Structure 1
Amino acid sequence: MTTDTNDTPEAPITLLIVDDHPVVRDGLRGMFESTPDFTVLAEAANGVEAVALATAHDPDVILMDLRMPGGGGVDAIAELTRLRSRAKVLVLTTYDTDSDTLPAIEAGATGYLLKDAPRDELFTAVRAAAQGRTVLSPAVASRLVSAVQTPGNGPLSAREREVLALVAKGTSNREIARVLFISEATVKTHLTHLYCKLGVKDRAAAVATAYERGILGPVGP
């Protein structure tokens, strides 16, 4: 009789928990360590510690708070993106305001959940984040949709101009992400914003409109 060796259980998802409140860290550690699906590698009390520990431990997913003394979450996410960290960052915070949500996602966060998320929803979100899928709580998703659907004739941001210039060269989203050291999800967010500001629905129209308005330089000599 032969033994089937294909039933080897999958390795647990490794985590780094980042929060300035020890009680929150303890609660999250206990929650995740209650199941063999997850392993908590380390805890950090601020963004600076988070970057150092992420570099040292190479977790699959980082649960990142945003507002922390000694180093905030958005700066940490941006630094991890710059360092091309393998870890996926899932923001877990109390705040869902535009001033918190958009910068975190633009910095490279894979997902954004609020701390009142049920246990099962949090587990599902971490699994999805580990696979590189974007995860947004309903409240945050609604805010993002509202932000990009609001008629906006305002000027493009510097990063939106960079994305648009690369689009004009025929650069793919994946390559844009590599060149600008941001995630593909962030590239898509920038594209959605600039489509709204330009009043267009696709890449070709965005480029054409940008040339018409002088946002991009003239083609040719």
Structure 2
Amino acid sequence: MIADDHTLFRHGVCQILAAEDDFVMVGDCASGSEAVELAAEHQPEVLLLDVEMPGEGPVPTIRRVQSVSPCTRIVVLSMHASSDLVRELTSAGASAYVAKTSGREELCVGIRSVVGDDHMVMCYVPRSAVPSSRATEGPTLSMRELEILKLVSHALGNSEIAAQLYISESTVKRHLTRIYKKLKARSRIDAVHRAVAVGLIAAPGATSH
């Protein structure tokens, strides 16, 4: 389900997701209050929520949706790459944060990443939207690389990762090569340990608060 007050954008996202074999759109609306009503009616697995709609802010909407549809995972959409906003919304209960300047693949990856995983929080902001001064804070992995590394942390092999993500095993290997290079890791376990150490992924078995 999607809630966004920009009609063309909302309809465009609906068409993108409807073209994916594993997605079914159950509703769309243009306000937070409508999102709450539709969530109560349809109990969607995922709600895409624009953070800049008129009316009450996204935090109250997130909490109300969770109240009427506790199993709904919320992916927030925004034009802005604000770390403060990311922290606020994920603290309120959002499962993922995707910038509207992201591409089709990033959006689909973000949705698939949060479905069925209560402990995963994903954030995708294009590199061009991040101030260059942040580049020295640590390695930056793409959303796909983070997704693969998360599955690696759960002890999945390359073939299992490929099957789960609908990509080839050779593609998984190419991503892992880039992950090792970015993290300066020597092995799968080393990559996971390094990613956990710098806060890129949660430690295996960790619980959310």
TM score, norm. by length of structure 1: 0.54
Q: Does 1:81 align with 2:45?
A: no
Deviation for aligned residue 1:89? 0.3
Residue of structure 2 equivalent to 1:28: 13
Q: How does 1:5-154 map to 2 (within 5 A)?
A: 16-83=1-68, 85-132=70-117, 133-138=120-125
| 8 Å CA contact 2:32, 2:58 repeated in 1 | yes
2:66 and 2:72 map into 1 onto residues whose CA distance is 9
Deviation for aligned residue 1:83? 4.2
Deviation for aligned residue 1:97? 1.9
Aligned residue for 1:113, secondary structure, equals strand
Residue of structure 1 equivalent to 2:149: none
CA distances 1:197-217 after superposition (whole Å, capped 9, x unpaired): xxxxxxxxxxxxxxxxxxxxx
% identity of equivalent residues: 28
Aligned residue for 2:27, secondary structure, equals strand
For 2:50, the aligned partner's letter is D
1:21 and 1:44 map into 2 onto residues whose CA distance is 10
For 1:56, the aligned partner's letter is E
| 8 Å CA contact 1:55, 1:85 repeated in 2 | no
Deviation for aligned residue 1:82? 3.8
For 1:27, the aligned partner's letter is G
C-alpha distance 91-82 of structure 1, shift in aligned 2 (>3 A): same
Aligned residue for 1:95, secondary structure, equals coil
Deviation for aligned residue 1:138? 4.7
Aligned residue for 1:27, secondary structure, equals helix
C-alpha distance 99-29 of structure 1, shift in aligned 2 (>3 A): same
Q: CA RMSD in A?
A: 2.4
Deviation for aligned residue 1:43? 0.7
Aligned residue for 1:69, secondary structure, equals coil
| 8 Å CA contact 2:86, 2:97 repeated in 1 | yes
| 8 Å CA contact 2:43, 2:71 repeated in 1 | yes
Deviation for aligned residue 1:84? 5.6
2:18 and 2:93 map into 1 onto residues whose CA distance is 27
Give the greater-gyration-radius structure (CA): 1
2:67 and 2:6 map into 1 onto residues whose CA distance is 27
Q: Count matched residues.
A: 132
Unaligned 5+ segments in structure 1 are 1-15, 150-183, 188-221
Q: Which runs of 4+ in 1 moved over 6 A?
A: none
Unaligned 5+ segments in structure 2 are 138-206
